[in-house]
Structure 1
Amino acid sequence: MRCKGVKTVYDCVNGIQLFIKFDSLTGVITSRLTTDTATMSTALQSNVINFLRHLVKLVTVVFFMVRLSWRLSVVIFACLPITVIVSTIYGKFYMHISYQVQTSLADANNVAAEVFSTMRTVRSFANEDGEIERYAKQLGTSYKMYKKQAFAYASYNAFNILIDLVMRVATLVYGRYNMEEDELTGGIFLAFVLYQLQLGKSLNRLTEGYRCLHSNSYIERKPKMKQNESLQREHLAGTIEFDNVSFSYPSRPNEHVLNGISFKVESGEIVALVGPNGCGKTSCVNLLECFYKPSGGRVLLDGSPVHLYEHHFLHKQVSLVEQEPILYARSIGENIRYGLTDNECSTDKIREISKLTNCDSFISRLHDGYETLTGEKGLQLSGGQKQRVAIARSLVRNPKVLILDEATSALDAESEQAIQELIYNKNVFRTVVIIAHKLGTVEKADRILVIDKCRVVEEGTHKDLMIRADGVNAGLVNCQFNKKTDENEIDITIF
C-alpha cells in the first residue's frame, strides 16, 4: 500500500478509496522509515517469490485437473466465486486494520522519541510517571489494534478451512457417483484428489501472500516546494526585492502573515528588520530562503524570482543563521564544514573563520579541539557557543547574502562585539539582513525597516527613526531602554 502526499492522501487499492491523514511529527516519520520499511522488506523477500511460485503451480494443477475430469473440476470451481468475493472484502478490511496498527505504533514511537529528545524538560517538571502513562496508553491502543487484526486473520483462516472442507466433501460425493456410473475410473479419481490437495495448498499460500502484501505500506511524500530550476549567475550582486508580497502559512491559510509588503535591499547594504513579535520578520526570511512560496507578489534576488535559482547555488549564496541553530552529532569541524566538501572548505579556512567569529577561543580549550563531538543537536555546547559555530558555518561559505535571525541573542559582550565587527566590515562586500531586538545590533545598520501589522510602516536610519517620537521603532527602543533601567534598579536594590 503506497501512501502519497504530505498532510492527507487518498490511496486507491482494489477499488477502495482510503482516507489517510499524516502527521508531520518526527517520531511518526521515523517509525515509518524504520519499522514499516523493515516490514515491507521482509514481506517482499519472503512472499513475492512464494506468491509467484504458487501462482504458476496453481495454473498448472488446474490445467491437469480439467484434463482428468472436467465434471469434478466444475464442482470445485463453483466455490471459487465465493472465495474470491470473501478474499476481496477481507483484503480491503485487513489493509485498513494494518494501517491502523502501523499508525498506532508510529504514535507510540513518537511519544518515546519526543521524551528522549526532551529528557531534561521531563525531569525538570518531574513528569516521568505522566510520560510513562502516556506511552502505556499508546501501547494499549496498539494492543487493541493487534487483537482486532489477529481476529480478522483467524476468521479468514477459518473460512479457508471451511471452503477447503466443502470442496473435498463435494469431490468425494460427486466422484463416487461418477465411478458408479462408470464415467470415472479409480485411478483417475485418486489422481484428481491428489491434485486437489495441491490446489488447496497453493490457494492457502496465495491468500497468505495476499494478506502479507496488504499489511504493509510505504510513504511517497512529494515536497510542495520543488526547486528544480537551473538559474545560476556567475556574479551574484545580492540585491533583494520584495514586490507586493503577501503570504499565509499552509496551516493557517486565512491568516495573513504578510500583506502587500514591498521593500528593496541594495547590493552590499546592511538592513535590519525590526518590529513586534509575530509581525512577519522571520516570514520574510523564510520566503527569501525559498522555504515557502508567496501567495501573492514576487521575491526577487538580482531581479529574478528566488524559486528559479538552482537549489544548491541559491543556498550557497544565501546563508541563514537562526536564533536556535541546529548542530549535528558530529565534530565541531564537521559542523562548520557542513554542506561543503573538503576541497571547498579546508581545515585552515575553518580555523581562520573560527578566529574571526570568536569560536577558536573556546574550541582550543577543548580536549579534542575541532574534533570534539557536539552531541545531539549540539547539547554539549552552550547556547552562545552554538550560535558562534553556526555563524562560522555560514561565513565559511562566503555568501553574497547573509541573514541573521536573532543570531547573536545568546552571545556575551565580547563575542557580540567580534560578530558586529564582521557584519559591519565594509571591506567584505555582502548584503546583510539582520533581525534583532537588541538596539546595539541594529543601530549601525545602513537602513532599518520597521514591520508592523504585515507591512513596512517605517524606514530609515536609526537616527531618523528615533526623531519620530510616536513611531513604532522609537516605541520599541524606549521599551527596551526602560526594561534595562528597571533591571539595573532591581540589581542595585538587591546588591
Structure 2
Amino acid sequence: MLKIFKYIEKHEWGFIAISLGLIIIQVWLDLKLPDYMSNITTLVQTEGSTVSDIVFEGGWMLLCALGSLVSSCIVGYFAAKVAAGLAKRLRGEVYDKTLSFSMEEMNDFSTSSLINRTTNDITQVQQLVAMGLQSIIKAPILAVWAILKIAGKSWQWTATTAGAVVVLLVMLSVIIIFVIPKFKIIQQLTDNLNQVTRENLTGLRVVRAYNAEDYQEDKFEEANDELTNTNLFTNRMMSIMQPGMSLIMSGLSLVIYWLGAYLINEAAMIDKISLFSDMIVFSSYAVQVIMAFMLLTMIFIMLPRASVSAGRILEVIERETNIKDGTYDLETSAVSGELEFKNVSFKYPGASDYVLHNVNFKVESGETVAFIGATGSGKSTLINLIPRFYDVSEGEVLVDGINVKEYKLETLHSKIGYVSQKATIFSGTVESNVDYGENSKDDSIDEVGKAIEIAQAEEFVDSLDGGYQAQIAQSGANLSGGQKQRLSIARAVYRDPEIYIFDDSFSALDYKTDRDLRKALNDEGSGATSIVVAQRIGTIKDADKIIVLDDGEVVGIGKHRELLRTCEVYQEIASSQLSQEELSYA
C-alpha cells in the first residue's frame, strides 16, 4: 500500500502538510469546547455569576465550533484534491503500462481484470486516501490529546474509559480477522462478473441465435450470487460496527455519570461543584477518545480492501514486459520492405511444445507472399512475430536486414500496415477509423478517400448517411463482416507502409471484391511487400511465393503450379477447394 504514495506529487505533499496543521488546529478547537463547558457549568453553580459571563464563555464555544468547521472543510478540499490527483495518475500509469504489454501479459491479466483494476480498484484507493487524510491523521492526535486531558482526573473514570477502548479493540479485531481475507475474494469475483457480463454483451447475437438466454442468465446469476453472498458476509460483519460503537459510547457515558453520582455523593460539599464540572468535562473527553477510535475503525474497514486493490494496481504497473524496446529508430534504410526468417522456432510462454519449428524463408521487397495450411498450422502465430506481438524463442526475424528486436517498437510498427484476423473497428466515424492508421496527419480527407477506394469500400461508404462522417457504432456493430474488413484494410492502406500484413483478412469478401481489392493493392501499393495469410487457394494462386505450413513446419515454398506438383499438403488443400478442371488447367 505504501508504494502507492510515491505517485503523489510534490505540491500535493504540500497540501498534506497544510492539512496536518489544520487538523492539529481542529483537534485543539474541539478539545477546547469541554473546557468552556466546564466553565459554564461552574458559573451556573457559583453565586454572583452573571448571564453575560455565561454568554461570553458560550461565544468562545461558538467560535471554536466555527473554527473547527472551517478547518474541516479546508482539509476535506485538500484531501479530495490529493485523492483525485492520485487516482488520475494511477489510471494513466495502468493504461500506459497496458499499452506496452505483449500478448503474453494481456493473456495473464485478462481484459476484464485490467478494466476492473483501472476502475474499481483505483476507486477503492482514492476513497481511502480521501478519508485517510482526514481520519488517519486526526484520530491518533485526537486520541492522545484527549487522553492527556483526562489523565489524573479520576482513576475510576480513566479505568472505565480504558475498558471501553479494550472492548472496542476486541470487536475490531474479531471483525478484521474474519473480513480481511474476503476482500481479495471480492475483487476476484468482481473480475469474474465483469468477464461474464462482457462475454454476454459482446456475444449477444450468438446468444439469441442459439436460444441461450437462459443458459447465460444462469451463468450470470451464479457469478452474481457468489459475489453477492460474499459481499453480504462482509457487510453483515461490518454492520456490527455501528451499533457496537453506539453501545460502547452510550455505555461509557452511563458508567461515567453513574460513577460521578457516587463520587459527588461521597464528596465534601466544597468539592461537589468541582467534581460535577469534572464529570461533564470527562464525559466529553471520553466520547472524544471513543470517536478517535471510531475514526480509526472507519479506516480499518476501508484499508483491507484498498490494500488488496493497491496490490492489484501495482501488479500491473510493476509488471516487467517481456518485449523490450530496441534502440534502432531510423525509418529509412538501404532496403525497404524486405523480410527474412532465420531458423525461427517459437513456443508460447508456459507451453512445452513448439508451435513453429526451424522456419526459414526470405521475402524480397515488393513481393506478395502468401501463407497457407491447415487450421492450427501456425500461420497467424508466424506473422505475429513480425510486429513483435510475441518474440521468437529461437532464431531471428529480420525487417530490412535488421533484427526486429533491435528496432524501437514505434519505428518497427511504422513500417507495417497490419490487418488482423478479426476486424477491429472503433466507435467514431468512417474517416476516424481509416485515418487511425496514421492519426497524426492533417487535411487527410483526400487520402482517406483514396484508401477507401483501394479497399473497395467506396460504394458502401457512399451509401451511409453522412459518407465519410457516418457514425460507426462500437466494434462496428452497424456494419457487416465484409464492410468491417474493408475498413480495416483501408486503415492499413492509408498508412502507406513498407510491409502489409493480412491475417486472413479477406475471408468475409466475395471473390469479385477480393479480386478487385488485390488488383487495386498491386496497382496502388507503391511497391510495398504483402504478407497474406489465407484459407482459399483461389485468392492466393497469383502470389509471387506461396509458403505451405504443416504442424509449424515449412513443407513447401513456390508458386501455385510448382506446389501442385511438388507439395503433398498443398495438393490436398487444392483438391478440397478446386475443381478437377481447375487442377488440370494448373
Alpha-carbon separation, structure 1, partners of 2:443 and 2:359:
37
Query: Is the partner of 1:288 in helix, strand or coil?
Result: coil
Alpha-carbon separation, structure 2, partners of 1:311 and 1:460:
31
Unaligned runs of 5+ in 2: 5-106
Specify the alignment match of 2:137 in structure 1. 52
Give the Å deviation of 1:483.
Answer: 9.6
Give the Å deviation of 1:403.
Answer: 0.5
Unaligned runs of 5+ in 1: 5-21, 486-495
Give the Å deviation of 1:395.
Answer: 1.0
TM-score relative to the length of structure 2? 0.70
Aligned pairs for 1:339-488 (under 5 A) are 339-341=437-439, 343-344=441-442, 346-425=444-523, 428-468=526-566, 471-482=568-579
Alpha-carbon separation, structure 1, partners of 2:340 and 2:174:
58
Change (3 A) 1:171 1:294: farther
Alpha-carbon separation, structure 2, partners of 1:234 and 1:144:
57
Change (3 A) 1:135 1:149: same
Aligned pair partner of 1:206 in 296, 318, 324? 296
Aligned pairs for 1:309-324 (under 5 A) are 309-324=407-422
The one-letter code of the counterpart of 1:404 is F
Specify the alignment match of 2:213 in structure 1. 128
Higher share in strand: 1
Give the Å deviation of 1:321.
Answer: 1.0
Change (3 A) 1:240 1:23: closer
Change (3 A) 1:483 1:465: closer
Change (3 A) 1:282 1:344: farther
Give the Å deviation of 1:426.
Answer: 8.6
Give the number of aligned pairs: 466
CA offsets, 1:449-495, max 9 Å, x none?
Answer: 22212221222222322221x5222222122215999xxxxxxxxxx
Give the Å deviation of 1:189.
Answer: 5.7
Specify the alignment match of 2:89 in structure 1. none
364-373 vs 79-88, which moves further: 79-88
Alpha-carbon separation, structure 1, partners of 2:470 and 2:388:
33
Give the Å deviation of 1:164.
Answer: 6.1
Specify the alignment match of 1:295 in structure 2. 393
- Do structure 1's residue 308 and structure 2's residue 393 form an aligned pair? no
Alpha-carbon separation, structure 1, partners of 2:323 and 2:297:
41
The one-letter code of the counterpart of 1:201 is M
- Do structure 1's residue 98 and structure 2's residue 197 form an aligned pair? no
Give the Å deviation of 1:388.
Answer: 1.2
CA offsets, 1:44-69, max 9 Å, x none?
Answer: 43453233223322232233334656
Aligned pair partner of 1:248 in 331, 347, 355? 347
Change (3 A) 1:483 1:63: farther
Alpha-carbon separation, structure 1, partners of 2:240 and 2:419:
58
Query: Is the partner of 1:232 in helix, strand or coil?
Result: coil
TM-score relative to the length of structure 1? 0.81
Alpha-carbon separation, structure 1, partners of 2:482 and 2:370:
21
Specify the alignment match of 2:239 in structure 1. 154
231-240 vs 353-362, which moves further: 231-240
Higher share in helix: 2
Alpha-carbon separation, structure 1, partners of 2:152 and 2:417:
75
Alpha-carbon separation, structure 2, partners of 1:123 and 1:32:
31
Give the Å deviation of 1:364.
Answer: 1.4
Overall identity of the aligned pairs, in %: 25
Contact 1:345–1:396 under 8 Å retained in 2? no
Specify the alignment match of 2:69 in structure 1. none
Alpha-carbon separation, structure 1, partners of 2:242 and 2:424:
52
Give the Å deviation of 1:445.
Answer: 2.0
Specify the alignment match of 1:196 in structure 2. 286
Alpha-carbon separation, structure 2, partners of 1:285 and 1:59:
66
CA offsets, 1:213-242, max 9 Å, x none?
Answer: 323325422463444444211314232222
Alpha-carbon separation, structure 1, partners of 2:459 and 2:581:
29
Specify the alignment match of 1:261 in structure 2. 359
84-93 vs 219-228, which moves further: 84-93
115-124 vs 183-192, which moves further: 183-192
Give the Å deviation of 1:346.
Answer: 0.4
Change (3 A) 1:59 1:422: farther
Give the Å deviation of 1:372.
Answer: 1.3
The one-letter code of the counterpart of 1:362 is F
RMSD of aligned Cα (Å): 3.6
Change (3 A) 1:427 1:117: closer
Specify the alignment match of 1:283 in structure 2. 381
The one-letter code of the counterpart of 1:453 is D
Alpha-carbon separation, structure 1, partners of 2:581 and 2:232:
62
Aligned pair partner of 2:305 in 215, 218, 231? 215
Change (3 A) 1:229 1:189: farther
Question: Which structure is larger by alpha-carbon Rg, 1 or 2?
Answer: 2
290-299 vs 40-49, which moves further: 40-49
Alpha-carbon separation, structure 1, partners of 2:474 and 2:173:
47
Change (3 A) 1:392 1:168: same
Alpha-carbon separation, structure 1, partners of 2:225 and 2:420:
40
Change (3 A) 1:171 1:43: same
Query: Is the partner of 1:138 in helix, strand or coil?
Result: helix
Specify the alignment match of 2:24 in structure 1. none
Contact 1:248–1:256 under 8 Å retained in 2? yes
Give the Å deviation of 1:28.
Answer: 4.7
